[in-house]
Amino acid sequence: MAFLPNPKSRALLFDVTRCVGCHECAKACKASHSFPGTGEETELDATTYTVVLDKGDDRYLRRMCMHCADPSCVSACPVGAFTKTELGPVVYDAGKCMGCRYCMIACPFNVPRYEWSKPIPVVRKCDGCIERQREGKPTACTEACPAEATVGGTREEMLAEAKKRIAENPGTYHPVVYGENEVGGTNVFVLSPVRSSSSDEGRPRQRPDAEPHLGGPVEDPQGRRRRRRGPLRDLLDHPPARGRGGRRARREGVTSMRLPSF
Ligand code: SF4
Ligand code: SF4
Ligand code: SF4
């Protein structure tokens, strides 16, 4: 049984066109969780729950847990360590985790990270600032953003705000609210300034990637330029995610998910 997005649950809207790349969101996230680091990391890890990626041309993209309405991490976990809360955030109980890391394989956005360096490691990911939100406070990243690039509210409010921004500036935005329908809907929305192949026709088609991109040549980790990989290669290297989200993806012919890009 699929779970539908709850319009009253808490959600975030990230607007690429407003982000100035100041990393205040990532710094606030670290501060609120007492994590080490600068807040300017470029990869998610066990003490980095969100990153701000410089995509060039003064455009920046945040990565974090999307807090899916019907999360693959929840359905993949055999011991119920992950929970989709009524409030909206998808949370993790380290006390239940047995370290199988199925959640890491299942997540279509490649979000959960493992504490590889610890003798008794657990999985880590953005907790949606659940304690703050339970107290009626905004998430730390929302509160810190000086540009209203990250804003928070109920899912229906954030969806309405995203559509309002698109309607008021149709030449600025790609007319799709990423997260409205992808993987059954998420509690984090992304507004992109140009057409995103991953949200074309309302469904993503690309593989999960910490370095999202649109078409054309892309940089590999060594900095060499290469052509984007074809769908068959993607399917072979990144089979569809497990769990309810994965089944939905397979039904819709989606090999795996990724964030929108520009
Ligand atoms: S983005 Fe990944 S870790 Fe976050 S709720 Fe969705 S499936 Fe789970
Ligand atoms: S919602 Fe909270 S935990 Fe998640 S990225 Fe924002 S500040 Fe960090
Ligand atoms: S705080 Fe706001 S403007 Fe600064 S990097 Fe984060 S989302 Fe962008």
- Tell me how far apart the alpha carbons of residues 262 and 253 are, in angstroms, rounded to a whole number: 23
| Residue 86 in tokens | 């009524």
Q: What's the rounded mean pLDDT across residues 100-119?
A: 97
Centroid of ligand 3 to alpha carbon of 165 (angstroms) = 17
Atom of ligand 2 nearest to the CA of 150: 6
- Using only C-alpha atoms, the chain has a radius of gyration, in whole angstroms, of 17
Distances (CA, A) of 32 to 4, 22, 49, 51, 155: 30, 17, 11, 15, 23
Probe residue for ligand 2, chosen from 19, 41, 87, 126 as the CB with the greatest number of ligand atoms within 8 Å:
126
Pick the CATH number of 10-194 from 3.40.50.2000, 3.30.70.20, 3.40.50.10470, 3.40.50.720: 3.30.70.20
β-bridge mates for residue 225, sequence order: 219
CA dist 141 and 158 (Å) reads 15
Q: How confident is the model at residue 259 (pLDDT cuts 50, 70, 90)?
A: low
Rounded Cα gap, residues 226 and 240, in angstroms:
24
Measure the CA dihedral 238/243/245/250, to 10°.
60
Distance 168 CA to ligand 1 centre (A): 31
CB of 139 sitting under 6 A from ligand 3: no
Rounded to whole angstroms, how far apart are CA atoms 24 and 134? 22
**Mean pLDDT score of the chain, rounded to an integer?**
82
Mean pLDDT, rounded, for 26-49: 98
Q: How far is the CA of 25 from the centre of ligand 3 (A)?
A: 5
Atom of ligand 1 nearest to the CA of 82: 8
Furthest C-alpha separation in the chain: 53
Domain parsing of the chain, residue ranges: 10-194
Going by alpha carbons, the residue nearest to atom 6 of ligand 2 is 141
Q: Can you tell me the distance from the alpha carbon of 46 to that of 125, in angstroms, rounded to the nearest whole number?
A: 7
Average pLDDT of the residues in 41-70: 97
- Span from the CA of 207 to the centroid of ligand 2 (angstroms): 24
Please give the DSSP secondary-structure letter assigned to residue 5: P
pLDDT digits (tens, 9 = 90+) for 133-162: 999 999 999 999 999 999 999 999 999 999
Q: Are 211 and 223 in contact (CB under 8 A)?
A: no
**Ligand 2 centroid, distance to 164 Cα (angstroms):** 25
Lining ligand 1 with CB less than 6 A are 65-68, 71-73, 90, 107, 109, 111-112, 125
Confidence of residue 194 (pLDDT cuts 50, 70, 90): confident
Q: Quick one: pLDDT band at residue 245, thresholds 50, 70, 90?
A: very low
Q: What is the rounded (10 degree) CA torsion for 206, 208, 214, 219? A: -130
Ligand 2 surroundings by CB, under 6 angstroms: 28-29, 32, 49-50, 64, 126-129, 139-141
Q: Whole-model pTM above 0.85?
A: no
Measured on CA atoms in the order 128, 92, 100, 123, is the torsion positive or negative?
positive
Confidence at 184, pLDDT banded by 50, 70, 90? very high
Contact between 236 and 63 under an 8 Å Cβ cutoff? The reply is: no
Distance (Å, whole) CA 224 – CA 208: 20
